[in-house]
Amino acid sequence: MNVTITRVLPFLLIVLGIYLWIGYSITELTGGERKTSAAVDVSPEGGEAIYWGKGRCFTCHSVGGQGSAVRGPNHGQFGEKFPLPMGARAVERAKERSEKEGTEFTAVDYMVESLASPGAYVVNGYKNEMAVVYAPPISLSLKEIKAVVAYLMSLGGDLDMEAIDTKPGEQTQAFYSKIAAAAEAGGGDPGAGAIVYEDNCSECHMLGEEGGEIGPALDGISAKGLKFISEAILQPTKSLTKGFETYVAINKDGRQTIGLKTRDEGGEIDITKATGDVVTLAKGDIKEIKIDDTKSVMPDDLSEAMTVKDYQDILSFLMLQKPKVAE
């Protein structure tokens, strides 16, 4: 047996060495991952470290002749296909975005949008497959994203650190708010969260001027905080909103009707059930009506119907619903 081990061990070591060499070579060919310091400055240098490190941008992009990844556009000046480096290219892209959206985009607006909403503008010849960099597994912070923007803008562009960091314009600030909300919610995607909301919540809740009125309106819901929103989804009976208590009406024949009391006039009351159906009851037929604080018309199995990603996405979407500022 010892002889067998002696013969097999060198072979296993050789195989392991080959695998390690292949892994190292792949990393080097795509640009090579660099060490990123724990404290990152919002600067081109800090962004460069993230680009080639934690952000793993090098797995899809190259910068000029540095790196060899081709899955995404080259961010440097490279051949006829990319005659301008990314910073200068952003100026041209901003003009295109302005024309399409009907609102002014600056180069910084475009660059931030490309990280906050990567599907908003997809370069011809490439797929809409860029990772959401502020969501797992990359999970860049807002500060780290600002640093990456600074690095990309420094590649042949007009580097305006105020527009990137301390005094962002309206468009850029809106994108930063989206990223911050997603980060606070554990890295969800607000765009995907809007779809989850539409599919699961809009029938009962108002947002703006659209939706149902079975549950409370969700305008400005972020002011109540992430903990409140999380509990409202996972444990809807824990934080019942005043005016939306669940009533249980028991008729004299024993039948029960459960839902919101949405009308109380004369000799009748209306109970709106979780399905949206309205049941009109004559008060003379009711034996007892009471509030049941152990029940909610909101489904208590939403957590089972949603995936973990759905949950993170809808949290990030709801955390974007800021209270309106009085003019």
Residue 44 is predicted with a pLDDT of 96
Residues 161-203 have pLDDT tens digits of 999 999 999 999 999 988 888 777 766 778 888 999 999 888 8
Does the residue 19 lie in any domain? no
Residue 262 reports pLDDT greater than 60: yes
CA distance 196 to 305: 11
Question: Strand 247-251 and strand 286-291: pairing?
Answer: antiparallel
Residue 126 lies in a domain: yes
The token pair that represents 129 in the structure block: 């497959």
pLDDT in tens, 221-235: 988 888 888 888 877
Radius of gyration of the chain (CA): 27
Q: What angle do CA 244, 246, 252 make, to 5 degrees?
A: 140
Residue 327 lies in a domain: no
Two structure tokens written together for 94: 């901003």
Most confidently predicted of 27-31, 81-85, 176-180, 317-321: 81-85
Look at residue 270 and tell me if it is in a domain.
yes
pLDDT of residue 132: 81
Q: Is residue 22 part of a domain?
A: no
Regarding whether 131 and 44 lie in a shared domain, the answer is yes
Residue 87: its H or E element: helix 86-101
141 and 276, same domain (yes or no):
no
End-to-end CA distance of the chain, in Å?
Answer: 85
- Assess whether 282 and 173 both reside in one domain: no
In a domain, 148, yes or no: yes
- pTM, to two decimals: 0.59
- Asked if residue 55 and residue 86 are part of one domain, the reply reads yes
Q: How many CB atoms lie within 10 A of CB 209?
A: 6
Please give the Cα distance from 110 to 116 (Å, whole number).
10
Cβ pair 50, 143 in contact under 8 A = no
Whether residues 62 and 146 fall in one domain:
yes
Do 177 and 83 sit in the same domain of this protein? yes
Q: How many domains does the chain have?
A: 3
Q: What is the pLDDT of the chain when averaged over all its residues?
A: 83
Residue 217 and residue 142 share a domain: no
**One domain for residues 61 and 198:** no
* Distance, CA of 64 to CA of 131 (rounded, Å): 21
DSSP class per residue in 133-176: TTSTTT---HHHHHHHHHHHHHTTS---HIIIIIS--HHHHHHH
**62 plus 163 within the same structural domain:** yes
Structural domain boundaries, residue 195: 190-236+300-318
Q: Which amino acid is at 185?
A: A
Q: Sorting pLDDT into bands at 50, 70 and 90, what band is 30?
A: very low
Model confidence over 138-167: pLDDT tens digits?
889 999 999 999 999 999 999 999 999 999
**Could you give the percent of the chain with pLDDT greater than 90?**
40
d(CA 139, CA 187): 7
Band the pLDDT of 104: cuts 50, 70, 90. very high
* Confidence at residue 46, expressed as pLDDT on a 0 to 100 scale: 96
Report the CATH number that the domain containing residue 256 is assigned in CATH: 2.30.30
194 with 272, same domain: the answer is no
**Of the residues 137, 154, 182, the one at which a domain ends:** 182
In a domain, 24, yes or no: no
Looking at the structure, tell me whether residues 150 and 69 fall in a common domain.
Answer: yes
**CATH number, domain at 139?**
1.10.760.10
Phi-psi region of 120 (alpha: psi -120 to 50; beta: other; left: phi over 0): alpha
Among 226, 55, 31, 61, which Cα is nearest to 146's? 55
User: What percentage of the chain reaches a pLDDT higher than 70?
Assistant: 85
Same domain as 198, residue 124: no
Strand order in the sheet with 268-272: 278-282, 268-272, 256-265, 247-251, 286-291
Per the domain annotation, does 45 fall within a domain?
yes
